[in-house]
């Protein structure tokens, strides 16, 4: 059987297919649908230092080819994760990456310290959160802020550090370079795009009912944006890149690999087809065999020729 393993600068994955944060729970929630331990890694729902209740009101909105969410990072908090979920992941031999979120520098550092202390091998830092001390601008939109945040985390966290970039910037290269210079081991991109969902309904009695949901756009419709960003990032930096955005089938994965992604995360499609990660994994193996190649690295080389 074809070897799907990936070496991200020393951090080894058994497969390039990962689940994206926020779409897969904390650990084994998808076991009703797939064999989770076959994934390259589960990326956990974003964890903050304290539990968060998230946003009130409507949290999701379906769009053509995707959806908008404003969950507001509802999560159980990293301590609860370590107490309750970590043992399950270990027992079931599920590889995982812990996604971290914060609303100020101190939160990120504190959470990273906890991850470090508990031997978490890899973290993915969500830098799309608003920085409450700096006018709620996202950490990941300013290269200087991102550099400082990344290097501060690097100081306290000794595992594999992935910075997950936001696409809501004009110059993604400068952010990727800032994260690399500050010591990030890997970049993942993209997070959701800012979007506004508006629904207008005209009732039988001639009333106009309007619903709006402002949040992050994800799903199949964002793939071209993600491909473009991944390509630009890859050309600007040397560290590995995990591609994320609108992947729904095997060919989408090939497209990301062809523009330089070393691995990929699958997000919103898990809602549509909860077995999609396993399906794509199997199809990748079949393809590599069919092309008489030995492993994923050979496939990547072919795709990039």
Partner 1 sequence: MKKNHQGIIKENIKIAKDTFKLTFDSNIKEVKAGQFVSILIPDKTLRRPFSVSDFVEDKISIIYKLKGDGTKYISSLKEGEKIDFIGPMGNSFNIENKKRALIVGAGVGIAPMLYLKKVLNKNNIENFLISGFKEEKEIIKGSDKYVIGGSVLDSIEGLIDEYKPDVIYSCGPYIVLKLLSHIAKEKGIETQVAMEKLMACSIGVCRGCVIELKRGNETLNASVCKDGPVFKGSEIVWQI
* Cβ nearer to partner 1, comparing 153 with 280: 280
**Nearest of 186, 303, 193, 297 to residue 233 by alpha carbon:** 186
* Cβ nearer to partner 1, comparing 27 with 299: 27
For position 171 contacting partner 1 by CB under 8 A, the verdict is: no
Supply the minimum distance, in Å, between the C-beta of residue 24 and partner 1.
Answer: 6
For position 45 contacting partner 1 by CB under 8 A, the verdict is: yes
Tell me how far apart the alpha carbons of residues 297 and 303 are, in angstroms, rounded to a whole number: 10
Tell me how far apart the alpha carbons of residues 140 and 145 are, in angstroms, rounded to a whole number: 7
Active site residue 129: yes
Tell me how far apart the alpha carbons of residues 220 and 61 are, in angstroms, rounded to a whole number: 14
Phi, psi torsion values for 221, nearest 5 degrees: -65, -20
Phi, psi torsion values for 111, nearest 5 degrees: -65, -40
For residue 241, what is the enclosing H or E element? Answer: strand 241-244
* Cβ nearer to partner 1, comparing 56 with 305: 56
For position 29 contacting partner 1 by CB under 8 A, the verdict is: yes
Q: Which of 54, 106, 118, 295 binds partner 1 (CB under 8 A)?
A: 54
Stretch 55-84: interaction string toward partner 1, x if CB under 8 A: ---xxxxxx-xxx-x-x--x----------
The tokens describing 134, both together, are: 């700096």
For position 272 contacting partner 1 by CB under 8 A, the verdict is: yes
Q: Which of 15, 23, 145, 192 binds partner 1 (CB under 8 A)?
A: 23
Q: In the chain, where does DSSP find H-type helix?
A: 78-80, 86-91, 105-117, 143-156, 172-181, 223-236, 250-258, 269-272, 276-290, 296-304
Residues 191-250 that bind partner 1 (CB under 8 A): 219-220
For position 271 contacting partner 1 by CB under 8 A, the verdict is: yes
Catalytic residues: 129
Residues forming the site for partner 1 (CB under 8 A): 22-25, 29-30, 32-33, 45, 53-54, 58-63, 65-67, 69, 71, 74, 219-220, 268, 270-275
């Amino acid at each position: 059987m074809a070897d799907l393993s990936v070496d991200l600068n020393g951090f080894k994955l058994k497969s390039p297919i990962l689940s994206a944060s926020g779409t897969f729970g904390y650990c084994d929630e998808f076991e009703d649908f797939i064999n989770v331990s076959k994934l390259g890694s589960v990326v956990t729902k974003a964890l903050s230092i304290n539990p968060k209740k998230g946003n009130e009101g409507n949290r999701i909105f379906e769009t053509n080819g995707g959806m908008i969410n404003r969950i507001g990072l509802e999560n159980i908090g990293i301590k609860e994760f370590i107490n309750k979920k970590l043992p399950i992941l270990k027992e079931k031999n599920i590889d995982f990456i812990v996604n971290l979120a914060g609303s100020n520098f101190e939160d990120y550092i504190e959470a990273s310290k906890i991850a470090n202390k508990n031997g978490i091998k890899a973290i993915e830092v969500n830098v799309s959160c608003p920085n409450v001390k700096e006018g709620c601008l996202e950490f990941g939109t300013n290269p200087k802020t991102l550099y400082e945040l990344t290097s501060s985390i690097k100081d306290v966290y000794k595992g594999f550090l992935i910075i997950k970039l936001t696409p809501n910037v004009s110059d993604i290269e400068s952010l990727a370079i800032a994260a690399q210079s500050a010591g990030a081991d890997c970049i993942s991109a993209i997070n959701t795009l800012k979007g506004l969902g508006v629904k207008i309904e005209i009732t039988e009695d001639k009333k106009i009912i309007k619903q709006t949901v402002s949040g992050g756009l994800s799903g199949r419709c964002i793939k071209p944006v993600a491909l473009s960003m991944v390509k630009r990032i890859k050309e600007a930096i040397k560290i590995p890149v995990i591609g994320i955005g609108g992947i729904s089938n095997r060919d989408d994965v090939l497209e990301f690999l062809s523009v330089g992604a070393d691995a990929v995360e699958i997000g919103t499609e898990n809602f549509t087809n909860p077995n999609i990660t396993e399906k794509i994994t199997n199809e990748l193996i079949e393809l590599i065999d069919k092309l008489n190649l030995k492993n994923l690295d050979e496939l990547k080389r072919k795709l990039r020729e």
